[in-house]
Structures are given as C-alpha cells and as structure tokens.
A and B are shown apart, each in its own frame.
Chain A
Amino acid sequence: MSSPALTSAPVEATRPRGLHGAPVRGRRTGAGVSFILPYLPFLIGFGIAPMIYALVLAFTTSSGGWAGAGNFTRTFKDYRFLPAFEHILLYTGVWLGTLIVFVVGLALLLHGRANRVSTGFRFLFYLPGALAGAAAVLVWLFMLDPAVSPFSFLEHNVFGVQLFVQSIAPGKLPFVFAMIAFWTGAGGWIVVMYGALNTIPHELDEAARIDGAGPFTIAFRLKLPLIRKWIAYMLILSFATGTQLFIEPQLVNEASLGLVPDTWSSNQLAYQLAFRYGDFNAAAAITVDLLVIGLLAAVLIVTRTGLFRREG
C-alpha cells in the first residue's frame, strides 16, 4: 500500500484556456519531456520491462517453448485460484465502497468547515497513513488480539470476540483487511480530495448560494460532480493496489501460526507458485490475470466517468 496522497491528481479544471499557439505548444512539449525524463528510466526498468518479462513467461513453458494459454488454464484449475480471487474481489469491493463513501463524505464535510478546524482534522485523518504498509499491519495485529489490544472491551462487547483466532475467522478476513487498508490509506485521499475541492472557483460556490442552495445541495449537486474525476482517479489507483494485496495476509498468516492460508490472495498464490514450486510461468500467468483485471477496471472507470475527456 503506497500512500497516494502525494501523487499528482488531474488538475485540468484550473488550467487557463486559449494558449494553443504552435510555438507555445512546442515549448510546452519540451518542458513536459524534461519533466518526465527523470521518471522514464524507472518506468521502463521497474514497470514496463518486468511487465514484458511477465508476459513472455506467462506464454512460455519452463524450457522456453510456446505454451499458448496453457499456463492460464493450469493456474485457473488450481484449487487455490478461485478462492484467492474471490477473497480479493470481495476485499477490494468492500474497501472501495468504504473509501468512496467516507473519503468523499469527510472531504466535503471538511471543506464546509472554517479553515483552522479543517486543517486540524486533515492532519488527524492523515496521521494513520503515516504508518504505512507492514508497520500498519503489525499495529493492527495487536489491535485485533483481545489479549493485548487496548480496545479489547470493544472486541469483547461489540463484536463478541474473545480470542485472536476469532478476530481473524475466515469470514471476517476481507473486512478486516479492508479496515486496515482504509485506516492507513483514507487519510491521504481525504487530503487529495480536499485539494480537489479547493480548485472549485469560489464564484461558483457563491453563485449557488445566492440562488438559494443549502450546504447539502452545494455539496452534492455542485461540488461532487466537479470532483468526479478525482474520485475516478482514486478508484483506478485503489483498485490496482487492492487486487494486489499481499503484505497484510502474508503477515497475518505468519502471526497466526498458519491459521490464515498462505495463498489467501492471488498475489500470494503467485508468490507461492514461483518460490515454493519453482513455477515462475504459472506465477507470471496469475500476475497477467491481475494486470488484465486492473486494466479492464481502469478502462471501465475512464469511459464511464470521462476521466480524460477535456471540457470546453
């Protein structure tokens, strides 16, 4: 889980229009290239090249021959394949649902507050995000164990959980992981959404108010449609990280002495296939499956929300 807070959100809404003269465009292309240049080697080295390598592995056999769809059908038939993808999709669904409702809701609420109050809250929301990845999972393992948790009274009385084993019962796991991901990731996104809300020209807000719109109408009829693209952007990135869940179930598997299977998520299954069985081709096939699912979701979100459509 990387903190998404500092990645650049689309900022077209505030871009000044009418600067499309040819010399300007040339200058801007040059400037653009110089901006992306430092990133390019990393994108190729750690993004595109491994992806091509995975594609090659997925369609070949261990001896290097053409395998066609063989690796894909073989992994699909693996008894751990469907459960792993079920877990992942359920988890991602729960997580994205809570992310949209709470991140957008809280950002809208904050934006309506006085500046000092909202700064304090933004900082507060962002705090759990500072505890990223593995560290957050370790903290959550303590929180989930009634024997050591500072919130054991909640676990005893509200959730009826007396033992750590019950906290991580199979049926609860997607929700537990979604909760961990939400707490560590949501704060960053709230900050991003708040930034997005700040790009809405003040005149629009004022005009709506003069027309008699209340805070609810302004939030849902004016602000929400204007930050639609940021929400889409959050969805695409979160969907990709969600389906690639690895570290949370891996650590819970270890800490629970094996109560949670080590192939709980699809990425874990790929890891096991590669390193326990030495079957890198099957592992690559699963990563390609994940890539395809992520791309499909991205295409769907982009076309449904008009993420790359330019107004005007």
Chain B
Amino acid sequence: MALRAFRGSALLWPLSRRLRQIMLTSLAAVGLAVSAGACTSSSSTSSAPASSASGKVGGSLTVWVDSVRLPVAQAYAKAHPNVHVRIVTFDGDGNGATTMQTKIQLWNRTGSGWPDVIFSEQVNDPVWMAKPPFNFAAPIKGLIPQSILSQWPSPSTTQCTINGTQYCLQDNLAQVVLWYNKKLMTQFGYTVPTTWQQWAAIGQKVATQHPGYIIGTSGESFSHWIYFWGNQCPLEKLQGSQLLINTSDTHCTEMASLLTPLIKNGTVPPLSVFTPDFAKKYGGANDKVLMMPGPSWYAQAVFQATLHIPAGQITAAMPLQWKNETPVTTGQVGGGPWIISRHSKNLATAADFVQWATTVFNPPGANARPGYPAYEPLANTWLKALSANPYFAADPTPAMKAAASLIWSGWNLVTYPDQPVWSNTVVTQLVAGKSLSSLMPAFGHALSQAAQAAGYQVSQ
C-alpha cells in the first residue's frame, strides 16, 4: 500500500536521489532493516508527562519507525536520557510490503525479538496486528490516560478500534482537500470549484484552452482513496461479518464516468506524483499543476519538496461536494498509526513514548511535523505555524481543519492491502489506454479476490 505518507524530509532531495531512496526502501523490504541505534545511557529522570501505565518510565525500549518518523524517535531519546532507546528504521510497509508481517511471524515463531513500539505508514496495519495469526497489538486503554485519548477526533479513534478495542493511536490525519494553484487559477480566469462537477468542467476547459496543465492524478496507488472514498463508493464497507465491495453502486459508477473523459484528455493523468516522470513533466519550472485533490500532507511534502513548485502559488480549498448532496464527505490517504506490542516487557515506557510522540513532539521551522497532528491540542499549534508559512498563496488551514471531520466513515480498514490492486488492475490499464469506467468491474473483482484470500466474506 502506497501510503508514502509524510515523506517529509525525504522529499527534499533531488529526484534521482528520491528514486534511489525508493529503491533503497525496497531493499529494506527484502529484510535489510537498518539499525540506527540511538542509544543513551541511563542516568537522570524523565521529563515527560506522567503515563497512566503502571511501572516506571525507563529501561530499554526498541522502536521501529519509517525514515520520516526517525527524528521523533531520536528526539525522544535525547529528551529521555534515562531510557535506552534502540531505533530501527524500516520501509514503513510502503506499497503492501510484507516487511512487518514477515518480522512478526518470525518473532511469533521464535517467541522473542518483538519491538516495543511500531510506527506504520499503513493506516490499516493495526487491523491485522490485532488479529490472529499476528496477535501483536496491545490495547491502548489503560496504557494512556483516557483524558488524553479523548482528544483524538472520533473517526480517528474508530479507525483504531478493532472488534470494540482500541489498538492504536494515529500520528496524523490525512483528510483529502482540494489543493490548487491560486496564481494559475487567477491567470486563467477560473473560479475555485466547490463541486466535483465544476472541477470536471474546468478540466474539460483546460484540455482545450491550456493543454498540458492538470487538475489531478489517477496514477497513485491510493487514487481510489481520494476519489472513491470521498464519494462514498462502497469498496470496503463492513456490514456485520460481510464486506461489501460493489463497484456498480452509483456512487462508484458516477465518479468513474466523471473521471473517464478527464483521464482521456490528459488533465487527470495515470501517473504518480512520486515518479521522476511526473516531476519532470508537471513540476518545477513547468508548473503545470492547476489543481489536485489530495491529502493534507501533500502540503509541502509534495508541492514544495517533490515538485518544487515556487512559493506563493499553492493553497487548499474545501473538499469537493458531489452535486448538491449533503453532508459533504471526503477521503483519506494515510494517517499512520503507532502500535504498542502486547509482548513488551516495558509497557509503561512504550506508552510514554507513544504519548510523547503524538502529543508533545512538535518542533518548529524546517523540522516541523510533515502531517496534520491527530491529537487536537497539538493540531491547533501546528495549524497556527502552517498558516503563517509564506510558502502558501493563501492560508490553507481553514480547509484542512474543516475537512478533518468530513472523512466518510463508510470505508472500513481491512487486513489486506487494497492499494496495489488499484495499481496493478487499474493504473496499468489506464496507461495502456483503457477507460476507467470499463475497468471498474475488473477492479471490483480483483478487490473481492484479495478480500476473500484474506478470509473476508464478500457481498456485492
């Protein structure tokens, strides 16, 4: 699953390096987890807020994080000299990699080796971590005070709740908003759309009036999380023990027919923003991104660091509405969670780490958190800093803040990765020139097969 969520610092690199980074990440997937041991000796006492878990904060702690979360772990180690933190970076399970599953299976088989805390880029990872045969995640309740837990937005808590028990804490929210280039929109004389229909109409105009400019992409492995989640298409909707996957639902077919001509006329190309091809064609001096529906972490990670779009152009608008349907709902891409191991021998410190990473860690300036903090009090200070950021053409935070509560709750997280299914059944065929509408049945079929293989009972 391609939640290249908040690659933050990684995206500041030039593209060739970025490709190399992808490849190195891939290497990690084959089992070469790089240990970046940040160890400190135990001496003074902890300065962190008290944890409700019984036991003292201290001792040794093993933490597995992706490269973007490495600074959090390092900062914790620095702030807590009495905790001996062992940090291991891994690929964050990008694109459905089985790194973490492989490791947990092996730890389970050998009966030792589990880390105390894991960060995953995959928002659905806690779902399988909480279930057999993995049985890895520890219930959060009792480890972190309820007064703190209640400050997460309820859709976030719901996503972390599996069979009635909360197993994770989201690090950040990844609500989809409409990113647009204010300078270009004014220059072309377009008004910022509020509905998908207006957005598509602009796409038709752009194709003839300003060919080469784009209003979105369809080539992300998570493109369906942007377009179909937001439009309430039932692609993974749990109904009791059944999983509803119905690509012939009107919410799906309407969105597919809206996108089909836009993909064809080149305004929504089947290319990923993370490919060198994309940056070359649409980024930098070309500056061809007119609009792009995408998650909140696109902010600087994609527009500034990856595409090098000049400052003073990009900002965010409210998620698009389908015709005049209310309430407006939006999708989500990412929102990586923290998971504590149920095998941890140092639960108090593990909980303290997670609490610190999600509620305290918020450095200013260039080291700022790349994503919208899920913990509300932290989100407010983070948004304040973002709204003052001169990179944006206008304050993007009101739209981001409003969108945070609009994520459609009819899309349930599942144990299997559904994003590669979009990539290899839809994107490869879009590149070959097929229409999205004609691919929807095959997409639904492939999703059903993946769900059934993972043990779900599928209804259509």
Residues of A at under 8 Å CB distance from B? 78-80, 134, 138, 141-142, 145-148, 162-166, 169-170, 247, 250-251, 253-262, 271-272, 274-278
Contact B97 A261 (CB under 8 A): no
Q: Among A258, A272, A278, point to the contact of B424 (Cβ < 8 A).
A: A258
- Rounded to whole Å, the gap between the CB of A164 and the closest CB of chain B is 6
A254 to B92, CA, bound (A): 12
Closest B residue, CB atoms, query A262: B96
Stretch of B49-57, B166-174, B272-280, B322-330 on the interface side: B272-280
Q: Are A257 and B30 in contact (CB under 8 A)?
A: no
Give the contacts of B399-417 with A (CB-CB under 8 A): 416-417
CB within 8 Å for A254 and B431 given contacts A147-B277, A164-B277:
no
Q: Are B95 and A254 within 8 A (Cβ)?
A: yes
Within the assembled complex, what's the spacing in Å between the Cα atoms of A42 and B276?
45
CA distance A295 to B454 in the complex (A): 32
Residues of A within 8 A of B277 (CB): 145-147, 162-165
B428 touches A170 (CB 8 A): yes
Contact B276 A147 (CB under 8 A): yes
Name the residue on A nearest B419 (C-beta): A258
- Which residues of chain A have C-beta atoms less than 8 A from B34's C-beta? none
Q: Which of B15-23, B290-298, B305-313, B436-444 sits within the interface?
A: B15-23
Please determine whether B29 and A275 come into contact, CB atoms closer than 8 angstroms: no
Q: Which residues of the other chain, B, contact A163 by a CB distance below 8 angstroms?
A: 271, 275, 277, 431
B interface residues, Cβ below 8 angstroms from A: 1-2, 4, 15-16, 19, 22-23, 25-27, 29-30, 91, 94-98, 101-102, 105, 132-134, 219-221, 270-272, 274-277, 280, 416-417, 419-420, 423-424, 427-428, 431-432, 449, 453-455
Known: A163-B271, A261-B424, A274-B105. A145 touches B431 (CB 8 A): no
Chain A residues within 8 Å of B453, by CB: 78-80, 277
Within the complex, the shortest CB–CB distance from B423 to chain A, in Å, comes to: 4
Shortest distance in angstroms between A281's beta carbon and chain B's nearest beta carbon? Answer: 12
Complex CA–CA separation, A267 to B275 (angstroms): 28
Residues of chain B with a CB closer than 8 A to A148's CB: 15-16, 19, 276
CB distance from A131 to the nearest CB of B (A): 14
Chain A's nearest CB lies how many Å from the CB of B272? 6
7 new A-B contacts at CB < 8 Å, known A148-B15, A166-B431, A257-B94 = A79-B453, A148-B276, A165-B428, A169-B431, A255-B19, A260-B424, A262-B97
Closest to A79 in B: B449
Q: List, in ascending order, chain A residues with CB within 8 A of B280's CB.
A: 147
- The answer to whether B2 and A258 have CB atoms under 8 Å apart is yes
B-side contacts of A247, CB under 8 Å = 30
Whether A145 contacts B19 by the Cβ 8 Å rule is yes
**A259–B454 CB distance below 8 A:** no
Contacts of A276 in B (CB 8 A): 98, 101, 416
Q: Which residue of A lies closest to B422 (CB)?
A: A258
Least Cβ distance of B253 to chain A in Å? 24
CB A201 to nearest CB in B, in angstroms, measures: 47
Q: Is the CB of B98 within 8 A of A275?
A: yes
Pair B98/A257 contact, Cβ less than 8 Å: no
The residue from A79, A165, A250 contacting B219, defined by CB atoms under 8 A apart: A165
Please give me the residue from chain B that is nearest to A171 by CB atom. B432
Nearest chain B CB to A224 CB, angstrom units: 40
The reply to whether B275 and A147 form a contact with Cβ atoms under 8 Å apart is yes
Q: Closest residue to A253 on the B side, CB-wise?
A: B95
Select from chain A the residue with minimum beta-carbon distance to B4. A257
Question: Given the complex, which residues of A lie within 8 Å of B27, measured CB to CB?
Answer: 134, 138, 251
> Which single residue of chain A is at the shortest CB-CB distance from B29?
A254
Indicate whether A250 sits within 8 Å of B19 (C-beta atoms), given known contacts A257-B274, A258-B96, A278-B105. no
